[in-house]
């Protein structure tokens, strides 16, 4: 029958569409269900990442950085201009065209790999039956040997700041501003808040970031976090820690925010726009019937094992709906793993080596354990650092903020963590990911030839510094 498949994936985001493509490549009859559609009623594939997350935000980050560089830095290179202006609608049009190109590309990949796209809302019923509700309200039943739940996540809303069209917005709304707000408030100093604050701050907005936690980037290595905070403050991002928002009021097209500061005193600020970026929650509402047998944890995530199998045989869940960081690359790798397991292959995923990146400028990225985590574990360790201020390539590019930090086991020399704030941090950390995947020691990387001049040489110098052998900085005395 037409509606019988080996694999049915609910959700066409990075976890879902990658899983569907890989399953089809392995010879499995595969369908992918997606409910998101555009103004013309056509399916919008790619999920949050391609449509209102990773891709559009990076497009705006790139445009805003080019503008800021032209305005502030070109003169240092001898490039003179009479003035630089930002055309926000044109910037937004460019962003939208990139999104359209990539989402259309996913549809092309489905066709090329033989994935059947089912447009509508999927709901898992008992016995691995999937109810497909189409846009016109009609309902069809789809049968699968295996079902993969990949419905993604959505922004968290908080009671003190209910969303108000155009004034109090979530991360999706913050991607659609058609002009630069003079005063911008951001609730949350996480990845999303920092990236969006950077976009509009570079374009001229006065940005205040209110973070309820007392620590900045608490999951990052704290030496890197402190360095990052100093850099952002120099960029005029007003980041206020220990600031708990208690209320808001919209009046005269302005937003008044009330918050309690780190000392416990009540404070008020007025903004033209307010972005609520306090995190995301899994999309599990109406995803499963009560008798489907799927269990959720206390935070609303689908309970799965290390191979993303739920409590129901043949039903898997991947991406933002399961435990772990809400990262597109984590979800994609889970999707590949599940497809290969369903096809009978032995597949596993190394959850200890999922890199994290904040695409501000400079970028912030890390993989493995922070120094705080290593110290807490009781393992004896050694550390090497190298500042980009001593990098010839960074100096030539006038991009010298930040550093590379490498942590290694004192006894085995195995690399335990790589942490970077600085230019091309994401790409430098990725080199660390590859090395750590092969259980490299700091000596292994130290003996590796790095081309000159490159930013990657900062990683080379950092691993040399682990044992006090750095060439281009003075080495710290070892105990």
Active site residues: 452
Dist. CA 355–CA 428, nearest whole Å: 11
Is residue 305 exposed (0-12), middle (13-18) or buried (19+ Cβ within 10 Å)?
Answer: exposed
Q: Which helix (H) or strand (E) holds 379?
A: none
In angstroms, the CA 462 to CA 366 distance is: 14
> How many alpha carbons fall within 13 Å on the CB side of residue 249?
6
β-bridge pairing 168-169 and 183-187: unpaired
**Is-contact 326 21, C-beta < 8 A?**
no
Three-state DSSP state, 188:
coil
Q: Which two tokens stand for residue 331?
A: 């979800």
Quickly list DSSP for 261-315.
Answer: -TTS-EEEEEESEEEE-S-EEE--TTTB-GGG---B-TTSPBP--TT-B-SSTTE
Provide the terminal-to-terminal Cα distance of the chain, rounded to the nearest Å.
72
Residues 6+ apart with CB under 8 A from 222: 215, 370, 371, 372
- Residues in CB range of 20: below 8 A, 6 or more apart: 7, 9, 12, 30, 31, 32, 110, 115, 148, 335, 339
SS3 132: strand
Q: Are 11 and 334 in contact (CB under 8 A)?
A: no
Tokens of 271: 């903004």
Residue 405 near residue 378 (C-beta atoms within 8 A) = no
């Amino acid at each position: 029958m037409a509606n019988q498949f080996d694999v049915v994936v609910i959700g066409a985001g990075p976890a879902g569409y990658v899983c569907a493509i890989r399953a089809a490549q392995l010879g499995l009859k595969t369908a992918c269900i997606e409910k998101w559609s555009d103004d013309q009623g056509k399916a919008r594939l790619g999920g949050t990442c391609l449509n209102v997350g990773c891709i559009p935000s990076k497009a705006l980050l790139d445009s805003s950085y080019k503008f800021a560089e032209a305005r502030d830095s070109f003169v240092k290179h001898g490039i003179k201009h009479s003035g630089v202006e930002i055309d926000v609608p044109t910037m937004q049009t460019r962003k939208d065209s990139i999104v359209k190109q990539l989402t259309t590309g996913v549809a092309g990949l489905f066709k090329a790999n033989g994935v059947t796209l089912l447009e509508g809302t999927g709901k898992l019923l008992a016995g691995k039956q999937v109810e497909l509700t189409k846009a016109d309200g009609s309902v069809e039943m789809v049968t699968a040997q295996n079902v993969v739940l990949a419905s993604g996540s959505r922004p968290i809303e908080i009671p003190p700041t209910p969303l108000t069209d155009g004034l109090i917005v979530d991360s999706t709304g913050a991607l659609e501003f058609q002009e630069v707000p003079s005063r911008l408030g951001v609730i949350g100093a996480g990845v999303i808040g920092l990236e969006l604050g950077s976009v509009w701050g570079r374009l001229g907005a006065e940005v205040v970031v209110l973070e309820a936690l007392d620590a900045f980037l608490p999951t990052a290595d704290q030496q890197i976090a402190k360095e990052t905070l100093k850099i952002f403050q120099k960029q005029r991002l007003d980041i206020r820690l220990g600031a708990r928002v208690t209320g808001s009021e919209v009046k005269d097209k302005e937003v008044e925010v009330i918050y309690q500061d780190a000392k416990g005193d009540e404070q008020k600020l007025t903004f033209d726009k307010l972005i609520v970026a306090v995190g995301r929650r899994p999309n599990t509402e109406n995803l499963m019937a009560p008798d489907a047998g799927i269990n959720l944890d206390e935070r609303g995530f689908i309970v799965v094992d290390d191979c993303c199998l739920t409590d129901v045989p043949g039903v898997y869940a991947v991406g933002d709906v399961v435990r772990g960081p809400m990262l597109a690359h984590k979800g994609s790798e889970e999707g590949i793993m599940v497809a290969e397991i369903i096809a009978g292959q032995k597949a596993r995923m190394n959850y200890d080596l999922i890199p994290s990146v904040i695409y501000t400028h400079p970028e912030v990225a890390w993989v493995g354990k922070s120094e705080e985590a290593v110290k807490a574990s009781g393992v004896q360790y050694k550390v090497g650092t190298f500042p980009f201020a001593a990098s010839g390539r960074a100096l030539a590019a006038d991009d010298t903020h930040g550093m590379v930090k490498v942590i290694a086991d004192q006894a085995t020399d195995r690399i335990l963590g790589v942490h970077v704030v600085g230019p091309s941090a994401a790409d430098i950390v990725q080199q660390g990911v590859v090395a750590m995947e092969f259980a490299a020691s700091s000596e292994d990387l130290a003996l590796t030839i790095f081309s000159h001049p490159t930013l990657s040489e900062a990683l080379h110098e950092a691993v040399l510094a682990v044992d006090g052998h750095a060439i281009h900085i003075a080495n710290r005395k070892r105990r």
